[in-house]
Amino acid sequence: MRTTKILGIIAVLLLSSCSIIRQGEVGSKRTLGRLNTKIMPPGPYLYNPFTTRILKTPVQSVNLEMNLELPSQDGLTINSDISILYHIKKEKVPMVLENIGIQYETIIRNVFRSSAADVCAKFLAKDMYSGARAEIEKQIALSMNNILSERGFVIEAVLLKSIRLPEGLSRAIESKLRAEQEAQQMEFVLQKEQKEAERKTIEAKGTRDANVILSEGLTDKILELRKIEALQQISTSSNAKVIITDGKSGTGQVLIQD
């Protein structure tokens, strides 16, 4: 019984003195309050639980969700749900823990609030609702990186997932977008009608030119030749017939009686 208790105590001590660092994170050993600058890669580690603590820090991409009211150039307040994608530089983990601590998300939130306010104040409220959103996101991320890069953080992207404008402005923008779409549709219809009119004009001109060419080519000699050819075809018919002409080269009135 006594041996079993001793083995149990040893097992507890071993478990409490073993730490496993998983993929996507690194470890830093803190002994008697002093942080070791050597990074511990993923794997199992033994340590003295009475004097040492192993701090695990994720170095993979982290998605930080926020909801914030953003100012605009025209003095309006825009409510937005935001995602901040960031990660800590692996080689900077000891510095982050030493200078900022494990509550480093607070720093990222505060830097975002400042950067977002500075950038959004340069844009109109309708710009955040339309195609300028990507540019706003890009400028906020750039501003944050300028502040946080030296501190060991990389801001991968800032995403304004939803933009909620003041109700009156939202309706006005939607009405304007509908009007622009209707104008584009009308312009398309007008262009289509114009193309059809051009096609009909070209077709009519072609018919007119063909008639002019045909009328110019029908000379008296050609008409006489055509009449002679017609008489020749009639004369070969097996039916009885009487052909009356004016006696001038087969021209004049032709009467056929069977």
Q: What is the mean pLDDT of the chain?
A: 77
Looking at the predicted structure, is the pLDDT value of residue 16 above 80?
A: no
Looking at the predicted structure, is the pLDDT value of residue 76 above 60?
A: yes
* Residue 187 binned pLDDT confidence (cut-offs 50, 70, 90): confident
Write down the CATH superfamily of domain 62-165. Band 7 domain (3.30.479.30)
Rg (CA), the chain: 45
Using the Cα atoms of residue 74, residue 76, residue 82 and residue 88 in order, give the sign of their dihedral. positive
Which of 101-115, 180-194, 242-256 shows the lowest mean pLDDT across its residues?
242-256
Structural tokens at position 158: 């800032």
Give the integer Cα–Cα distance in Å for 118 and 132. 15
**124 CB contacts (<8 Å, ≥6 apart)?**
72, 73, 74
Which of 21-25, 35-39, 106-110, 124-128 shows the lowest mean pLDDT across its residues?
124-128
pTM > 0.85: yes or no? no
- Note the pLDDT of residue 170: 54
pLDDT mean over 34-49: 84
- Note the pLDDT of residue 38: 87
More confident residue, 131 or 72: 72
Using the Cα atoms of residue 96, residue 102, residue 103 and residue 106 in order, give the sign of their dihedral. positive
Among 23-32, 120-129, 188-197, top mean pLDDT goes to 23-32
Backbone angles phi, psi at 79, to 5 degrees: -90, 135
- Note the pLDDT of residue 177: 61
Residues of the chain with CATH 3.30.479.30: 62-165
Which of 40-44, 137-141, 155-159 shows the lowest mean pLDDT across its residues?
40-44
pLDDT (tens digit per residue) in 93-148: 999 988 888 888 999 999 999 999 899 888 887 777 677 888 999 999 999 999 99
SS (H, E, C) the chain: CHHHHHHHHHHHHHHHCEEEECCCEEEEEEECCEECCCCECCEEEECCCCCEEEEEEECCCEEEEEEEEEECCCCCEEEEEEEEEEEECHHHHHHHHHHCCCCCHHHHHHHHHHHHHHHHCCCCHHHHHCCCHHHHHHHHHHHHHHHHHHHCEEEEEEEEEEEECCHHHHHHHHHHHHHHHHHHHHHHHHHHHHHHHHHHHHHHHHHHHHHHHHHHHCCHHHHHHHHHHHHHHHHCCCCCCCEECCCECCECCCEECC
* Residue 254 binned pLDDT confidence (cut-offs 50, 70, 90): very low
Q: In what order do the strands lie in the sheet with 77-88?
A: 62-71, 77-88, 153-164
Give the integer Cα–Cα distance in Å for 47 and 104. 25
